[in-house]
Amino acid sequence: MKKTALAAAALLLSCNTFAAEYVVDTKGAHASINFKIPHLGYSMLLGRFNQFTGFFSYDANKPEASKISVTVDTESLDSNHAERDKHLRSDDFLDTKLYPEATFTSTSVRDLGNDKLQVVGDLTLHGATKSITIDAVKIGEGKDPWGGYRVGFSGTTTLKLTDFGIPERLGPASTEVELDLHIEGIRQ
Amino acid sequence: MWRNTPTGYGRLNKLLHWLVAIAVFGLFGLGLWMTSLSYYDEWYRKGPDLHRSIGVLLMLVMVLRLALVHWMGKPKPLASHSVLEVRMAQLVHLLIYGLVFAIGISGYLISTADGRGIEVFNWFTVPSLGSFFEHQEDVAGEVHEWLAFALVGLAVLHGLAAIKHHLLDKDDTLRRML
């Protein structure tokens, strides 16, 4: 019910048949790429990438036609500890000097209903490209108070470090990293 | 004799010289070793703690050495040394002092880039002055490593020169520091 109402509203608002193009609002920092990895198996360590850019197309009527691409500056890794950040950027882990960018380009989007989406795409990280699946949910969309139009999503996915050629140096409890993604796009 | 005289180094100067020599080579070895340790190694945290603590104390000793030389002067070069030898020795001394300070400062900039201070043996903390430039910990880290290799190279040269004076020239250059 809610979905059809929203779809109707989106139709009225957009009036065009093509999916709208959005720029991820990194300028206003209404987007973040966070990671989470177990520390020794006793707690979770959280960090993020402070710099990235992203674009996507989205139409609430045809979510499966959506496309998204994001480029992350891997050197902008930030775990709130300079010495650890330095180590994570080194060739022991992300080797950001050799691989300064990580990219994600969607290949297909499945509409699971209730604003839930399954975004499949190619992630290139540490020089290795692998297909990953992001479980995403649309949080909301509509006019912003400053004359623009926005839509926002969040998503999660889990990466196995060795899938991307990143050596397992942190022990058996820390072989996978969870990504916690939040984006808000401003319609162009 | 504790003080330097125009003809010889005082005990304090000799003591500090050899202390610094041990610290410099020790920190170099420790630095190389500790960065190669695995995450689960017992020394993974102890190594860097020790490295930072000794590093800070070394900086303090270096400042003390400069102050001592300022207050009580240094012995004159041996009369048997040529002008070129004296100039070369002065240049190497200057470079060694400069490198030790540059390495100390770059090390400080790695550890304090996020606002954390440096704890010295649970004794006192050197506060952070914050971040001065982008990617400070990475840039300072590279500089720290390269300069450390340069310093160790120069220190080896400095030591070989002293041995050359002792064995080939048979003069007092090395003996004056013992």
Structural domains of chain B sorted by starting position, each given as residue range(s) with its CATH number in brackets: 11-177 (1.20.950.20)
Taking the C-alpha atoms of residue B134 and residue B140, their distance in angstroms, rounded to an integer, is: 10
Question: Per the CB < 8 Å rule, is A82 touching B110?
Answer: yes
Q: Which residues of B touch A37 (CB under 8 A)?
A: none
pLDDT for the residue A3: 57
The answer to whether residues B11 and B1 touch, using CB atoms and an 8 Å cutoff, is: yes
pLDDT for the residue B112: 96
Element (H, E) at A43: strand A43-49
Question: Per the CB < 8 Å rule, is A86 touching B138?
Answer: yes
Taking the C-alpha atoms of residue A14 and residue A17, their distance in angstroms, rounded to an integer, is: 8
What phi and psi values does residue B133 have, to the nearest 5 degrees? -150, 165
Residue B142 to residues A14, B135, B146, B169: CA-CA distances in angstroms?
52, 11, 6, 39
Mean pLDDT (chain A, rounded): 91
Is the predicted pLDDT of residue A16 greater than 80, yes or no? Answer: no
Disruptive mutation site among A45, A51, A74, A86 for chain B (greatest number of B CBs within 10 Å): A86
Instruction: Tell me the per-residue pLDDT of A136-159, one tens digit each, with 9 for 90 and over.
Output: 999 999 999 999 999 999 999 999
pLDDT for the residue A4: 57
User: Could you say which residues of chain B have pLDDT below 70?
Assistant: none
- The answer to whether the predicted template modeling score (pTM) of the entire model surpasses 0.80 is yes
Domains detected in chain A: 2-187 (2.40.128.110)
Question: Per the CB < 8 Å rule, is B137 touching A85?
Answer: yes
Nearest-by-CA chain B residue for A167 = B38
Minimum distance, in Å, between the CA of residue A63 and any CA atom of chain B = 39
Mean pLDDT of A77-96: 95
Rg (CA), chain A: 18
pLDDT for the residue A15: 45
What phi and psi values does residue A163 have, to the nearest 5 degrees? -60, -25
Instruction: Tell me the per-residue pLDDT of A29-43, one tens digit each, with 9 for 90 and over.
Output: 999 999 999 999 999
Checking ipTM against 0.90, whether it exceeds it is: no
A158 has a chain B CB within 8 A of its CB: no
Taking the C-alpha atoms of residue B60 and residue B104, their distance in angstroms, rounded to an integer, is: 10
Q: Which residues of A touch B48 (CB under 8 A)?
A: 83
Q: Which of residues 79-118 of A touch B (CB under 8 A)?
A: 80-83, 85-86, 89
